[in-house]
Amino acid sequence: MARDVEKNSIVVDNKNYAHINNDPNRAIIRKRRRFERWDGYKPKSLESFRKLMPFVMRTRNGSVNFFEDTFDVTEVVKYLDEKNKKLDEAKKSGDLKDFGNGKIPKYSYNLFFITLIVRLLTLRPWLNRFISRKNIYQRHDVEIAFPVKKQFDDVGEESTRFEVFDRDSNIEDVGEIIFDSIKGVKQTTRDPSGDFIGTATKLPNIFLTCLVLFLDFSIAIGFCPDFLRRVDTMQSSVLFSNLGSIGLKGAPHHHLYDRGTSSLLITAGSVRKEKIINIEDIDDIDELMNNKELLKERYVVDIKISMDERIADGFYYIKSFKLLEEILKNPYQLDERLKEVPIDD
């Protein structure tokens, strides 16, 4: 039995729905069905105008819209401080089973933002759609690509990781995956994406051109060898870059890529202190002009999002951004796994 949260209906179909990892305590999701693309399926609920969009707006970068805002993340800073204090206590006692089985060295902003994106794409599933051959598809999985810098200098190598997350994941589930992935790049030679690109770029131009054409053809038809899919980060749900990790205050806008299937690109700047006004504390405009005590020091961060407007309408995006802000105000909800997830069927 599965509940379609957005349609508020019950679906009973053991062949097409299953618990995540076949664990009866986990949420129910839609299973990949025979003859569907490896990465997604056509949702039946698409309205006619939405189906028309890829025909009149033909490229992803030509259909990009930009969103930016400065968000109050004071509660996030408190949340991560508390999590790290508990982690330090657990390290002293040696009981790390509740902290990613010991794989989480620190609750970082990078971990938080990736968890936030997983939760956002799960609760707002239209954001996890993509377009291929003028058809709109819903992804089977939540897939996030993020860069990893091996050394922080001009010549230091950079790799981009591609990871798949369960839809009901909490922050520990996400941390267990991403820190294991980052460790594989920085501390070992396990870097499939970097190794593949390094090998491919040694080929003569004619063979490299044929390889890229083969990858693009496999994306178009929806069938691609798994090892190639895992190194092509442009086939992810989101390309995410936490530029605050290298000390950049603001976050730049970035275009979408016409190749691949990524419909969202998100950048975040560094978390910093600023004096801001909480609108909820203001009763009238005179109070705003005369009461300097309304200015309060808070932690803020710049977030910028490039999005393919063909996958969802403006109203859907706006509600999604409001949900993002709600999670930033109450980050403790990321401690719990979701009991139910929306199904975009």
Is residue 9 scored above 50 in pLDDT? no
At 279, is the pLDDT very low, low, confident or very high (cuts 50, 70, 90)?
Answer: low
CA angle 228, 230, 235 (to 5 degrees): 95
Identify the residue with better confidence: 63 or 284: 63
Of the listed ranges 117-121, 128-132, 155-159, 269-273, the least confidently predicted one is 155-159
Q: What is the mean pLDDT of the chain?
A: 88
Whole-number percent of the chain with pLDDT over 70: 86
What pLDDT, on the 0 to 100 scale, is given for residue 8? 40
Is residue 93 scored above 60 in pLDDT? yes
What pLDDT, on the 0 to 100 scale, is given for residue 4? 47
Mean pLDDT of 301-326: 97
User: What are the structural domain ranges in the chain?
Assistant: 38-335
Mean pLDDT of 262-286: 82
Is residue 155 scored above 90 in pLDDT? no
| pLDDT single digits (tens) 207-260 | 999 999 998 999 899 988 777 777 888 999 999 999 998 889 889 999 999 999
| pLDDT single digits (tens) 103-154 | 999 999 999 999 999 999 999 999 999 999 999 999 999 999 998 877 666 6
Is domain 38-335 annotated with CATH 3.40.50.300? no
| pLDDT single digits (tens) 168-180 | 999 999 999 999 8
What pLDDT, on the 0 to 100 scale, is given for residue 198? 79
pTM: 0.90
| pLDDT single digits (tens) 16-33 | 899 999 999 999 999 999
